Amino acid sequence: MLPFKSSVSKFASRRINQNIIPLISKNAFSTSAFARSAIPSLHTFTEDEEMLRASVAKFAKEQVKPKVKEMDEHELMDKSIIQGLFEQGLMAVETPTEYGGSGTSFTAAILVVEELAKVDASVSVACDVHNTLVNTLLIKYGTLAQKEKYLPKMSTDTVGCFCLSEAGSGSDAFTLQTRAEKQGDYYVLNGSKMWITNSYEAGIFLVFANVDPSKGYKGITCFIVEKDMGVQIAKKESKLGIRASSTCSLTFEDVKVPAENVLGEVGKGYKYAIEILNEGRIGIAAQMIGIAQGAFDEAMPYLFQRKQFGEFIGDFQGMQHQYAQIAVEIEAARLLTYNAARLKEQGKNFVKEAAMAKLYSSQVAEKAASKAIEWVGGVGFTRDLPLEKYYRDCKIGAIYEGTSNIQLQTIAKLLRPVYSQ
């Protein structure tokens, strides 16, 4: 038997002689290297994105942070914070300028969510749902009249919410029971919704209801419903985490909605919901990496202030390995998230990448928040520090906008065709 190196050499020589492998010039390598050097990293942002991120970080630190503990304890978003989000342009990040928005990128919206979550996940998710779900659906599928009527309001002072989930339809969202019956120039809505983020503060509700149950999910339609049309806030949930973010049950009893308020096409609501939740998962991933980074940043200085056995606890090798590992995982989650965002912007398929980003970011957030409490010790277990809040807030990442099991199922479903042929 020939040595491995000799075997490879003979095989390569034979392949070249058969003109299977073309000769490559040194210039080709040089050109390729130059082209590669021009490809930006995932941490490359436009000037607008960088400016927005810095502005949001300042807003979060100066205006949100002083109110976080009070909002959490009272389970209520401070009105001045909502007003501040609008004044800073953070509730219309992608909305075109002609409707009062900033007209910036999807990645910019993701950066906003991440920066806010470093300080308070409740404010972050309020901003996220308003931008990535509600605004995006109106921008994408709204008629000119609908955009002119609603987007300026949602850019300046009116909160929006996304109403899909019901008591009997969570992960299996398309078994929803809310009905919409056509009566002349109106649709009459009857039914209820659960777990609706922003619903306590909202003035505009995107409600999914079935206009023809005999068609199954193909009867599901999205309606733009104004609060004063008769939306009833039935119950405000008291939650483990993101307590300042309102999560309510809603009731619709003979709510008359003009037919002109159908968003997109009748019967296409299921399609819109799937599309927008895929995008929304990138927003939740950003929220989770914000929580992870926030907990990490809060705990790390303590490791170099407190001494035990004559050394800073952060200098013990056992601690070094732990915080180095968490730093790696946060960065990996961040890159997954930024990659999914850029793929979405480029019009490429991003469903698998979005599911991966949300799944992994939620796992990293739990691990980072838990470790941060352990590193700080007993005081980390108290409410004197915000670490326990990061820990409570992160748990929702494995649940909303698609549970972790749903993300795994999505990833597996998309991998199977690649390897089963």
Helix (H) or strand (E) holding 411: helix 404-419
Helical axes 269-303 vs 387-394, angle rounded to 10°: 160
Q: Under a CB-based contact definition with an 8 Å cutoff, are residues 209 and 178 in contact?
A: yes
DSSP symbol at 113 = H
Burial track 228-239 (b if 16+ CB lie within 10 A, e otherwise): ebebeeeeeeeb
SS3 188: strand
User: What is the C-alpha to C-alpha distance for residues 207 and 237, in angstroms, rounded to an integer?
Assistant: 19
Longest CA span, the chain: 86
Question: Does 401 participate in catalysis according to the annotation?
Answer: yes
d(CA 204, CA 189): 15
Dist CA 252 CA 105 (whole Å): 35
Catalytic residue among 49, 94, 201, 401: 401
Cβ atoms within 10 Å of 208's Cβ, excluding its own: 26
**For the chain, how many residues are written?**
421
At residue 181's C-alpha, the angle toward residues 197 and 203, to 5°, is 30
CA angle 367, 370, 374 (to 5 degrees): 130
Catalytically annotated residues:
401
